[in-house]
Each structure stands twice: as C-alpha cells, then as structure tokens.
Amino acid sequence: MPLKPLVAYELDRPFSDQQPRHSLDSDDSHAVDELDPLRDSKRPYRDNASHSLRSIFHSEKHALLGSPPRRSSRRWSRLRFCCYLFFLVIVTIFLLLSAGGLWVYKAGASHDGESEPWYPSPRGGTVQLWSRSYRRAAELVGQMTLVEKVNITTGTGWSMGLCVGNTGPVDRLGFPSLCLQDGPLGLRFVDNATALPAGITIAASWNKQLMYDRGRAQGLEARLKGINVILGPSVGPLGRLPAGGRNWEGFSADPVLAGTAAARTIHGIQSQSVMATIKHFVGNEQEHFRQSWEWGTPNALSSNIDDRTLHELYAWPFAEAIRAGVASVMCSYNQVNNSYACQNSKLMNGIFKDELGFQGFVQSDWLAQRSGVASALAGLDMSMPGDGLGWQDGKSLWGSELTKAVLNSSVPVERLDDMVLRIVAAWYQHGQGDDRRWPNTTLGGGPNFSSWTNDEVGNLHPGSPDSKDTSIVNKYVPVRQTAEGGNHDALARRIATEGIVLVKNEGGILPIPRSANGLATKAKDGKLRVGIFGEDAYPNPKGNNACPDRGCNEGTLAMGWGSGAVELPYLVSPAEALHEEFDNATVQVTDWKTNSVRKVDGTAAAQDLCLVFINSDAGEGFIRWKTVMGDRNDLLPQKGGDELVREVAANCGGRTEGGEAVSDTIVVLHTVGPTVLERWIDLPGVMGVLIAHLPGQESGNALTDVLFGDYNPSGRLPYTIGKSEDDYGLDSKILTFPNGATPQQNFTEGLYVDYRYFDKHNITPRYEFGYGLSYTTFKLSGLFIHPLSVVNTSLPAPRSYSDDAVPPHMDPRVPDPEAAVWPQGMRRLAKYVYPYIDDVESAKPNGKYDYPKGYDHYHKSTEAGGGEGGNPDLFTTAASLQLSLTNTGEVVGEAVVQIYVSLPSTTLDVISNLTVALDTPVRQLRAFEKVLVEPGSRSQVRFSLSRKDVSYWDVRVQKWVVPTGELRVCAGFSSRDVRQCGSFELVGGGGWS
Ligand code: BGC
C-alpha cells in the first residue's frame, strides 16, 4: 500500500517534462515520502542520479567547446538516435514477450494422444441391481423438457444455494434441487454435526465394522440435515507422495486397505438413503499445480500413469467403491496422461463406465470441468458447482450452453438423457424418491442449514449480487445423538481410540496409572509429578474453529485443513482429558503450553513423567499456512516438535545413569501421515510413542483411554514410516517447481509405493506398514490354505452380455428450441446458472464443431467388464484360508491379522505361451481382519482370496490374468512381521479360457 500513491503520482503525470520541475519537491512528494517506508534510502539515490545526469551534460558541453555547436541539427540527430534506441528496446521487448508467450502456449497445450480416446459414453442401466431405479427414472425423465433435463445436470453456481453444490430442480415433477456437501470426515459448514476422526485415523483402526459405523453416522446426519449427496469418501490421493496435502482425507497408501475402507464407508452412508461420492478420480496426488492458474501455470499438472499401475493401484479402491454400489464419482482437477480428468474419455467412459460398470453419475470437482461439449462426450454427467472456468463467473460451460449443444446436435440427445437418467436413477436407487424417508422440498425437505452464515435468517443465493431473497436458513437441527443413530460422540471417541498406534513401549511404560499408586517420586509431598509439554496438548487459544476450514496449525491437531475439514462442535483437548483423569490427590500435573524450549529443562527435570505433544499438519491447496501450501514441506514434526521432544527427554526427571539421561518421556504425535521420527526416537529417555493421527472432536478422551489402559491399543499403521523422506524413493517428493507450462509428473515407480518400494529396494523402515504394538502378545498358528479350481484358468469367464439389463429407451429426437427460450417475465439473478437460451437463433449451429480425436471411432466394450467393479468372475473365490490366533499375554486385546500374497516372479505368458519374468511386488496386502481375543484364548480366523487377488493386469490382453507358478501366502501382524506362510501352484490354463 505505501508505494501506491507514488506509482499513481508518476502515472498521473505522463508528460512530467512539461511540468515545473519543482513539482517533485512540492507538497505532493512529501506526502509520498511520508507513506514510503523506503524514503530515506531512496532519496540519496534520486539525488545521485540527478547529479550524474548533470555531470554528463557538463562533460558533453566541454567536448563541444572547440567547434561552435550546430545546436538544432545536433539536437535532431540525438533525438533521432534516442527514437531508434527506444524503438529497438520496444521491439526487443515485444519479441521476447511473444517468444515467451509462444513457448507458454506451446508447452502449455496438452500433449495430444497420450490418453486413448474412448467413445461413445456407455449408457447406464446395464446392471440388474439398478434396473428398477432406471425404469422409474425413465418414466420421470421421459416427461421432462430439455431445460428441465439440463437443470439437473448443472449446478446453480458457487454459493447460489445453501450447500456447496446445488443442482437445479424440476419442481413441476417433484424432482428436488440436490444438495451436495463435503466431505470425507463429517459435514462441512454444518452446525451441531459430529467432527469424526479423519480417513487416515479410521484406516489406522483396521476395523471394518467401525468403518461402516462411521459411514452410517455420516449418512444419518446428512439425511437429517437435508443433504442428498455426501462428497466422500476419498481414495485419491492414495498416498503416492507421503507429503501430499490431502492424503489424510483418504485412508491408506495401500489399495486393498483403502478400497475396503471406502466400500464399508459407502455401505454405511448409503444405508441411510444418502448418496456417497468416491473421489477424486484420479492421480490428484499432490496439491501443487492441481488446477490451472491456481499455482501460476496455465494448465494443471498431468499425472502420467501407466495402464497396469492404474489398474493395480490407483483404480483398485475406486473399483471397490463401485462394487459397493456408490452413487457418484468425482473426477479430479489434474490431467491424467495429458488429458483433463473431467474430459478424459478413457477414464470416464472406458474405465469407469465400461470396465467397472459404474451405474451412477460422474460429477466434476469444483471447477475441474474445463470444456463444455468435450466433457459431456467424455462421460461427465454433472457440472459442479456449475460456474464456468472461474468462481461465480456466471458463464457456465453447461447450463444454457448444454441446451444449445443439444439443440445444435453437438451433444446427442441420448448423451444428455443418459446424464439425467444416471442422476435420477441414483436418486431412486437410494430411496430419495420415497417421501416418507426423504420429504421433498414441497413437503418441507431440503437443506435445513446454510453453508454461508451461522445466522438463523440468511440469503438463499448469497453468490448473486442481485439476490435479496432471505429466509430461515439455519434450523440448528441436532443430529449427533438421536434415537435412530445412537450416540455419535461416543462413536467418534471409539474410532479415535482405535486409530491410535502404539509404536514404542520401552520397558512396558504404558499403560500408566491414574494415581501415584506408590510410584517413586522425589517430591517432598509424595505426589507424582506429571508434566504435559507442547502446544499440541492444548486447544487453540483463539477457538477451535478460529481458522476457516481449519487452515492453520494452532493448538491440538484434530484434523487437516480444506474442504475435507468440518466445524468442531467441541474439542476435548488432551490436556483437558489428562487433568480430568489423573487422580488429583496423588498426582500433580504441570502444564507447559508452548513448544518453546527456553528453560523447559528445569520444568522437565522437576517431573517424574513427561508427556510431550507434537504434530504435523497439511491440507488442501487453496489454503496456505505459513510456508505449508497444502502439501507438507517435509515429513518432520512441525513447530519445533523435534527440539521439544529432545529437550524434554534429555531432562525429564533430572536423572542420569552412566552419563546418559534416564527419563520417562512419552511422546504423542498427531499427524496427517508418515512422519519421520529419527531425531529422537532412539533417545534413551523416549520410552513410549503413540501416533494418534487426526482424532476429531474426542481427541483427549480417546488418548486417555489408551494411555491409562482402559483400552488396549489396536491401531496399526496404514502407511510406512521411513527413516528419511528419501527412503520413499526418488519419485516420492512433491513437485514444487513446475517442469513445464503443463507440469508433468511421471509415475515411474509404477506399483512400488510405500511398503512395496521399501520391500523392493530392501530399505529398512523405522516402522513398517501394518505395524503397531499392543499391551498383550499374540501368536498365529496352523495356516491352512485351500485353493479352488479358479486358479486353473488364467482368465476370468468371458463377459456375459445376456445377464445385462437394457438401458431404458428414450425419445432420441432433438426437441423444439422454442421451448428452451427464457420464459417471459421470469426473474433472473445475476451470475446464477440457468438452462434457458436467449433466442432460437443462438442455438443454431455456428460452424463445424471440432470433435475430439477418436470420437468417430466406436469403442468396443472390454472383456474385463460386465458387472459393478468389473467382470463378476474376478470376485470368485480362488482360495480360502484359515488359521488360529492366540492371545498369549495377560490382557484382552485385538490383533489385526494381515494376509499378504506374493505372485510368482515368472509366468507362462498368455499370448506366447513362453515363460516370462513377472515384475511384481515382494508382497501385497490382500485381506485383513481385526479379532478380539481373551488372554489365553484362541480364535479361528478365516479369509478368502478372490481371482482378482491372485491376478495381475496384463496390458496386452487388457485383462486380469492369474499367473502360473507358485503363489505364496503369508499371514502376519505387519508387512514385515509375517508369522505363517504357505504356498500353492497357480496352474493357469494359458490362452483364453
Ligand atoms: C475439493 C473437493 C470438494 C469440493 C467442494 C474442491 O476444492 O477438491 O474435494 O468436494 O471442493 O467443496
């Protein structure tokens, strides 16, 4: 700001030479100087400059003394020279700029042809389970006009309704505006709803029932708040880059754990007649450059993923979500193989709708849609939030543009009908057409909260500068504890408790007692001294929700930031719970509320037990906290956490033995993902370490459950903790500087992310995937493997089209354009997105539409498809397993039994019938169960492996293939702690079955 008046002053006086020179020294310039903090350093420079200019004139004058100056001609030639110089400079600048522009344009343009074209878009209604919903949808959609259909496909614009996404309604036929709301851990911008633990926390619990219960709680709360579609769960990012800003919203870097968690969550959400959205498809593995211009590059980053890696890693959890019947999928911001995910026909038409048999609708991420017709043809069904290339620009790429595109036949009527049928069928499929379960808007349904205000009365369309429409928007409906859903606060606590992973427990320091209980203390009063150290133990002094979308790291960390965060209804901080739980009569608790290490040694030395709290935060790229721009800058604890642990551990208790500090320090880490602990993990004073992930509102209560041994820790790491960030591999770092106008990120490590990378390169992690301690011990024995005949054929049964349902027949004729023109006298809100056209003329073809390459080629259905999630035969049991789990310790506990498979390293090639090498991970998780066992008891645990579990994706035959050779199956307690192994022969038939 201070420099502004100076600029304005200079620009206001372009002909300053004609101004009296003294104007620079006039009052104006004083005013400028007063505003200019640099004035003292600037003034001498200005003086020097004028001085040197004067001396040039002087020396010139001396040189000219010999001959009488021909003043006017000299002046002309000097002027001409100046003009040439000026002209040259301008031309050079112009050329440089154009060259730069050309480079940006060329380099910014997408590389053509790197993603296979896949047209036409497969129609929904081909799966028997959905056929009734499609029939009902066809009846309704058959009565709709063109604009009514378009209204359903297009959002009304950012903050043009009460939810983060709002579609247009068809009031005439009782089809409501749909409310779409984030997100993966609860309900964003919603009052009185539960702030559940994040995706990474539920994944760390490895508890399938809890995954379902968490989803069910979200679904019920959503229905009670009038939300039709939840924008979650998330399985993309998967976690390819350990520092990725949004990994915590999803579950795990392992596709089976992520896929299982997603499927259970979806079953839970949809059991409440609320539609779930699996997101973001696909390759949105980092925040930097995820969107065009957001990070300064004209195009979004391209995630370049090969076919096999896409199938075996990134698409796997999406396939599981579709198998679970998910209603919607969200395509991501980034490009995939240099084609925007939301107009990538291979991904949406080919993989999602054909191969994986998706029957619901594809919605764009918010502003991820980059084209109108092309995205429609590539399989996008819903434009969110409906705006065009910019927020609230009122220039939707669909809306009236889609109406025109259908009228001038650029988009076939059949494609529009399919979009609408998919949305309406999903609505019926999840019981939203049932007025008793889902009272529609005319019966008082619809959202009963506003995303944009906490006041009771508010604007219905706050995004429009014209809107003065106010109404009661917040009804403050309580949803956390209901007769229908039970107590969600208690559920949140249970999930947070089970999501805590105990990674170090030296000398069995944990659990700790609540009272001194005769424990040694040097304090004269005999009270045990306990110190709580670190900002992360205490609430944010400014309030739990002080930072919008939790976009800062202040106080204890309950969740990451961005659209995946929610308002905390309350937050039980660790310090609060600890104060509450310790027996005040025998224990004295001391608070150290900051991360400052100044003089912490004295306070630490006065304690018998030290609890240190540290954290590491990240979030969505539209918010930046300090230097963290969404993605983490590194994998270390933030805000000086390492130093705090080191200092406390070195001084706690003030005791040394043999020159080494001996202390009882327990570290609690709240974190968004893999965090490097090397700066202190091996210090002798660090006796216990708990990784409490992102616990949500019940943080402190969950922690004390584990600390005091009320609950035996059962969390296991859903990722690997390496000894350094480099250990995750060369390609595991965030791309922070663009390597082109379209940043390119090649997924060259292929299948080898997280533990697969560590295993392949024989790198010893600090704590491996699946690792976690318990207060008891377990034993596995008697693994019995029973292979079934499936393993005798390499390929799944051919796709059976006879079992397919038939998509409904709709009238394919282009409707009358007159009916799409703005109705007379209708009030229009500025920037609001409508489906109407101005006049019939505007819908006439305007030149030839340049269809995407390959649009004229009819792509055949793939044999790999045939049902929701892929060819149904992929899910036929290939082997069943059984083994015994014994609790060999003293207390009841839950073990997570994990099944890893290792495919043979060579196989008989299905095409050539020759033996070829098979590049495959050392081991891959394929199944898991969490089992509770009483001390001294034994439990039988059963698993089954499907055909897909024992197959690899063959890129040449475009199918899942069971290899030939020995399949090794191991059962264990982590990816590196396998206890029981067995193997059997995969005899694969070779060739087509
Ligand atoms: C996020 C989505 C979210 C949407 C709506 C986008 O920025 O990427 O995950 O659902 O906003 O809030």
Q: Which ranges in 207-254 belong to alpha helices (H)?
A: 208-225
CA 366 – ligand 1 centroid, Å: 6
Instruction: Give the nearest ligand 1 atom to 280 CA.
Output: 9
Average per-residue pLDDT for the chain: 90
Q: What is the pLDDT of residues 249-271, one digit of tens each?
A: 999 999 999 999 999 999 999 99
Give nearest CA residue, ligand 1 atom 2. Answer: 365
Which of 389, 386, 393 lies closest to 364 in space, CA to CA? 386
Whether 648 and 533 have beta carbons less than 8 Å apart is answered as: yes
Preceding peptide of 120 cis, ω within 30°:
yes
Total-model pTM: 0.90
Smallest CA-to-CA distance from 199 within 555, 565, 707 is with: 565
| Cα(563) to centroid(ligand 1), Å | 6
pLDDT digits (tens, 9 = 90+) for 89-108: 666 665 655 555 555 555 55
Predicted confidence at residue 35, as pLDDT, reads 29
Residue nearest ligand 1's atom 9 by CA: 563
pLDDT of residue 847: 81
Residue whose CA is at the smallest distance from ligand 1 atom 4: 366
Atom index in ligand 1 nearest the CA of residue 234 equals: 9
CA 416 → CA 32, 156, 420, 422, 751, distances in Å?
A: 60, 18, 6, 10, 37
Which one, of 558, 134, 68, 513, lies nearest residue 359 by Cα?
134
- Say whether pLDDT at 52 is over 50: no
Does the structure show a pLDDT above 80 at 357?
yes
Q: How far is the CA of 562 from the centre of ligand 1 (A)?
A: 8
Q: Which residue has its alpha carbon closest to ligand 1 atom 8?
A: 365
Q: Predicted confidence band at 657 (pLDDT cuts at 50, 70, 90)?
A: confident
Per-residue confidence (pLDDT) for residue 96, from 0 to 100: 59
Ligand 1 site residues, Cβ closer than 6 angstroms: 164, 182-183, 231, 279, 365-366, 563
Specify the ligand 1 atom closest to the Cα of 188: 12
For strands 952-954 and 893-902, give the pairing.
unpaired
Residues assigned a catalytic role? 365
Chain-centroid distance of CA 990 in Å reads 40
User: Given the CA of residue 249, which atom of ligand 1 is nearest to it?
Assistant: 9
Residue with CA nearest ligand 1 atom 6 = 366
Provide the pLDDT for residue 662: 72
Using the Cα atoms of residue 294, residue 298, residue 301 and residue 307 in order, give the sign of their dihedral: positive
Q: Is the pLDDT of residue 40 over 50?
A: no
- CA-closest candidate to residue 637, choices 665, 668, 676: 676
Q: With contact defined as beta carbons under 8 Å apart, do 330 and 237 qualify?
A: no
* DSSP H helical ranges for 737-887: 755-760
Closest CA to 612 of 636, 644, 583: 644
The two structure tokens encoding residue 128: 């028997």
- The pLDDT of residue 650: 95
Please check whether residue 538 is in contact with residue 556, taking contact to mean a CB–CB distance below 8 angstroms.
yes
Tens of pLDDT, residue by residue over 856-879, are 999 999 999 999 999 999 999 999
Does 426 score more than 60 pLDDT? yes
Counting residues of the chain whose pLDDT is more than 70, the rounded percentage is 88
Beta strands in 535-608 (DSSP E): 587-592
Closest alpha carbon to 591 in 553, 539, 631, 552: 539
CA distance 287 to 632: 10
Instruction: Flag whether pLDDT at 594 surpasses 50.
Output: yes
- pLDDT above 60: residue 73: no
Helix H, strand E, coil C: the string for 954-988 is ECCCCEEECCCEEEEEEEECCCCCEEEEEEEEECC
Residue 853 has, within 13 A of its CA and on its CB side, a CA count of 8
Query: Distance, CA 614 to ligand 1 centroid (Å)?
Result: 28
> Who wins on pLDDT, 682 or 19?
682
- Cα distance between residue 729 and residue 720, in whole Å: 12
Share of the chain above pLDDT 90, in %: 83
Task: Note the pLDDT tens digit of each residue in 798-851.
Answer: 998 887 899 999 999 999 999 999 999 999 999 999 999 999 999 998 788 889
Residue 34 pLDDT level (bands cut at 50, 70, 90): very low
Per-residue pLDDT, 113: 66
Query: Given CA atoms 763, 765, 769, 772 in this order, what sign does their dihedral have?
Result: positive
Q: Give me ligand 1 centre to Cα 368, in Å.
A: 10
pLDDT in tens, 289-323: 999 998 999 999 999 999 999 999 999 999 999 99
Coil, helix or strand at residue 941: strand
What's the CA-to-centroid distance between 68 and ligand 1, angstroms? 77
Q: Rounded to an integer, what is the distance from CA 788 to the centroid of its chain?
A: 38
Q: Which of 51-60, 501-510, 946-955 has the lowest mean pLDDT?
A: 51-60
Rounded to the nearest angstrom, the distance between the alpha carbon of 856 and the centre of ligand 1 is 34
Report the Cα 377 to chain-centroid distance in Å.
Answer: 26
Integer-rounded Cα Rg, in Å, for the chain is 32
Of 190, 365, 387, best ligand 1 pocket probe by most atoms within 8 Å of the beta carbon: 365
pLDDT of residue 442: 64
Other beta carbons within 10 angstroms of residue 846's beta carbon come to 11
pLDDT of residue 522: 81
Query: pLDDT: is 992 or 588 the higher one?
Result: 588
Alpha-carbon distance 193 to 477, whole Å?
9
Confidence check: pLDDT of 23 > 90: no
Question: Which of the pair, 647 or 38, is modelled with greater confidence?
Answer: 647
Q: Measured in angstroms, how far is the CA atom of residue 261 from the centroid of ligand 1?
A: 20
Burial classification of residue 68, based on how many CB atoms lie within 10 Å of its CB (0-12 exposed, 13-18 middle, 19 or more buried): exposed
- Is residue 439 over pLDDT 50? yes
With cut-offs at 50, 70 and 90, classify the pLDDT of residue 147.
Answer: very high
Q: Which stretch of 429-443, 595-609, 950-964, 967-981 has the lowest confidence by average pLDDT?
A: 429-443
Four-point Cα dihedral 195, 198, 202, 203, nearest 10 = 170
Q: Rounded CA gap, 969 and 344, in Å? A: 37
Looking from the CA of residue 290, the nearest atom of ligand 1 is 8
603/591 Cα distance (integer angstroms): 9
Q: Which of 366, 382, 383, 391 to mutate to test the pocket of ligand 1 (most atoms within 8 A of CB)?
A: 366
Report pLDDT for 541: 97
* C-alpha 515 – ligand 1 centre gap (Å): 47
Bridge partners, 686 (sequence order): 665
Q: Residues for the chain: how many in total?
A: 993
Output the pLDDT for position 51. 31
State which ligand 1 atom lies nearest to the alpha carbon of 385. Answer: 5
Question: Can you give the pLDDT at residue 849?
Answer: 85
Mean pLDDT of 382-404: 97
- Any idea what DSSP says for residue 824? T
CB 211 within 8 A of CB 290: no
**Nearest CA, atom 3, ligand 1:** 563
Cα 750 to its chain centre, rounded Å, is 20
Of 193, 933, 200, the closest CA to residue 496 belongs to 200
Give the pLDDT of residue 761.
Answer: 98
Residue 277 CA, closest ligand 1 atom number: 10
